[in-house]
Structure 1
Amino acid sequence: MAAVRCQWALAELEQASISERTCNKVIATCGRQIQWQRAIQVLFQMVEVRQATSISCNSCMAACSRASHWQKALHLMRCLRGFIRHDGVTYKQAARAAGESSWRSGLRLLQEGFEKMTEADVIHYDLALSLRQSAGSDHWPEALHLMQNMVEAQVQADVRSYSSSMTFEAAWPTIGLLFQDLLQRMEADEYTCNTAVSAAPWVRAWCLLRRKEHGMSVVSHNAAMAGTPWFKAVQVLHTLETGGLKLTAVSSGTILSQSRDMEWQRPLWFLSRCQSRDIQSNSIVQSNVLAAHVDAGHWQETLGNVMAYHSRGGNLNVALKTLSLSAFSQAASWQKALALSASERIDVVLLNALVTCCARVARWQEGLEVVCGSLVRHSLRASVVTFNAALSACAAGQQWQLAVNLIEEMEGQRLAPDSLTLNSMMLALGEAGFWQHAFEILKMFSSCNCEANVVSFTTAITACPAHQWPQSLVLVQQAASDAAGETSWAAAVTTLGRAVRWREAMCLGHIAMEGTHDAVMLAYGCYQMLGGGSAQVTELRACKKELKELIETRNCHPILVRLAWHDSGTYDQRIKEWPQCGGANGAIRFDPEMNMGANAGLDKARGYLQKIHEALGFWWYLPW
């Protein structure tokens, strides 16, 4: 309707001759419709015929301000200085527009208007206080200085002036003095009373509440009860009721928030009192009451109240659902928890909590049966959290095949898995022997917008069978740049141990102890060199064959063992660094070491190995 009025006004302007009254009407109508471009066009038409006035300019600036184009408003003011004599309203309108983005610019314009107009009214000071308020709580001394200037200029402050000054986060004595001065001069409104009560200590707030003639409302009482001791909050409640004000859910929640350290009976008594007076409680009130129940260990009452509140149509917030989970966790008798959940209305969140509870007490089968039955009976749709809880229950009962069936069911319902779901899937598939599918799940993390963590890589590495030990090294290499942890390294070493790849396991373990995750390429190189089918592997096998023939033909294995023992150095358990021995540096290859009496005869052992060394010297470094 307002848009139609704007069109009518423009049509009237086109049909009639341009007059100041008609143009001002069009500008005001366009301003209310936030059509600031049209308003500016009409204003400049007035300027061309010399009919523009400060009223026209002020209306046009107000239109720009409503459209959040405060720069346009200031530009318009500067452009029209040579055509229109600006008044105090013009500067206030410009300051109000500029203050939306820059409180300093707004105050500068106010000061400029004050210097040109030579006097300021209460609207001028109220606007200055409002701009100081938007600047932050640190500017409360400037606000008090403005109030002092009002007194010196004999400008009568109004309620808005006091309200703006009291909203600063100043000390209570300052706010209290302002409030007392306000009460002596005029009647305070509800907003000002609420501001004073919120800033006052609870004792002062209590005194303010007893002065009912000053417009105290339910909001004032709620502010007074915040931070008040329990017994005083109840007295405030009594004052509120005797004053004819209706108790709200916010009032109840404020009182109950003061009773968390009290016995659980007091919040329950207060809740029953609210219900007897037909006071609608919200989820916050219920959370405060039930939190006291859980803290006292009364999980049965907690669950009963949650479900009763939910059956009456109340919405379960995060706090109530968390309390339900805590109550289920405290349930020492899982049979009673199952019976309680079956007898009342239940939703998916409570089912998830119930499954988690059953899994913790090793009753995974009963938990899954209740979930399946409740989903069908109440026509509920399982969520991702439901499947996560069910998979965790299967893991607790080592029912891996059942977990695989749940995974297929989840895929059929087209639910997007999260990180916990994917990790549970990999664990179930790995334990069930489907290691290939576990690797595919690891690749799904990026497509599902999830980030693979230490648990993810560890689970995938653990799923590697013995004959897939090279894959564990590949996963460790990948995890080193993402989320490798001690468990990932340990899982890889365990996989190598199952495959009887002790050399690779020791190499990987040595790298893990050094903490040089960038050296994983060395471990992967061990795989390529020792088991990857490269040329070095062929040479190593030839070396083993030559050594076997040497031992069988010359029967020289004792002296070869003696050579290895002498060259390895002396074991010292006090040495903490790897490999905990001294002298393992191949010193026996030099003549001074070889000519020692303790090493007599070892030159023959070196002679036996000379031929192999010349052919395959890449593998030798100790005796040569």
Structure 2
Amino acid sequence: MLGARVVPNQITYNAAISACEKGGQWQLASKLLSLMPEAKVVPNEITYSAAISACEKGGQWQLALKLLSLMPEAKVVPNEITYSAAISACDKGGQWQMALKLLSLMPDARVVPNKITYNAAISACEKGSQWQLALKLLSLMPGARVVPNEITYNAAISACEKGGQWQLALKLLSLMPGAKVVPNEITYSAAISACEKGGQWQMALKLLSLMPDARVVPNKITYNAAISACEKGGQWQLALNLLSLMPEAKVVPNEITYNAAISACEKGGQWQMALKLLSLMPDARVVPNEITYTAAISACEKGGQWQLALKLLSLMHEAKVVPDQITYSAAISACEKGGQWQLALKLLSLMPEAKVVPNEITYSAAISACEKGGQWQLALKLLSSMPEKRVVPNEITYTAAISACEKGGQWQLALNLLSLMPQLRILPDVVSYNAAMDAVSGMGVGYALFRKAFGLGMYPQFWSNSYSTINLHDMSCGAAVLAVRWWLAEVVPHLLSGPTTPKLEVITGWGKSRKDWRTTTDVQDAVFQLLQGYQFPSRIDQNNRGVITIDGRQLKSSELRRLFTPPS
């Protein structure tokens, strides 16, 4: 230009900076702005707006704010475009507080916010998980005489989705027709995602079914959200049905789609189907990632297929996919369920070499593997090694270690571990107490332990309709035996002294804890053997096989107290 004796002016610089902005060249835009004083060209609000917008597109929120702060010194007044660009820069940079600060400064600067300004501020709140603030801004728009559009609603619905407010997300969607705003595929995807996060798979599918009537075409994100909703809701068949519909809808699935579908199969106990989906991915030109493999390994773990889980782990190295903490935890858990404690410990030992740091879930699975393999010493060794690895044990870790001690006949160690938990600010749960009571069910100390657990509210269902009926749900065999012994010693004698002899019932449950080939449950077996051992008149109720009935007429209070009250 200088060779042609054409001197650049304000318009030329503005056009050049704007071109840099559109081309994503924030450094060049900033450089051009800095050259203007030397060229004796005065920047105006268009210049600054374009430069700030270039910074926004380049993710340079600090520089965008720096330029905005320089404008008064340059005697250039920012306008709504300048502020919108700066707020957008804050939005992209995850700076929701700064975005709101800029919005609040606009009235003093006598700049009226417009639709773009509000949209950027609401989007910043959405990214910052500030759903209340996003909705507050939306509610302020009518008063500011700014009409929201689909971008506004999309950002607000997304904010509700991130905040777990699925009802509010659907409320906003329902308000759009009244506001004469037409929802698009982004709106529906955000609303379906909100339903997914809220565990509302039926509502997610309902929204998906409404899209054709609204003349909105579902895209990849919409289908992914709907499949993920089915996955979280345990609806693996529906998840697979949605996946099968995608080619017909001319929507190409990606790794997120397959990950959600494989996870749905994992949750539904369909390990074969999970592996089938994994095998179909290369033909669909979709590359599995660590999430895909982890979901497939978890499916094998739940299906008791430890060999396949380890095979998948070995395939990851060939596919140059790096296993993470969750992958190793799932593989170790698969070994645990398969009774392969040596392999579980081998995997744990390989993690440092793979630069993967084990967490409490990994250790819990490894300790459980030792427990199942009768290796209580190794279980305790793993537990004691956790502090030096900077891994904090939780109640699951301690419960696994207590169970290992129980199986190894180390009841003192089991009780010691249970007593240590509160000191380490780990609250024992019902499973922890069950494991400890399994270790001491035949001892006087067990009786005291049951009373403690019961007093702490570990078994809220214990009393059914009256003191003559007890409910042993959520109890292990040891806990159930101790509960029945306590009931017979301390409660039943009072019932027998009444004017009428009550019908005594023990609800042991029937279903989930029973194997298909069994006619009783483990808990029922343990309780029934206890009663039969003392020749108490008891039977399994033929009308409800989850109940043991005891004929109270043949029981004597003095005998019950003598038999079941432990020495003090």
TM-score range, shorter chain: 0.3 to 0.5
* Greater RCO, CA 8 A, separation 6+: 2
TM-score relative to the length of structure 2: 0.47
TM-score relative to the length of structure 1: 0.43
- Which of the two has greater helix per residue? 1
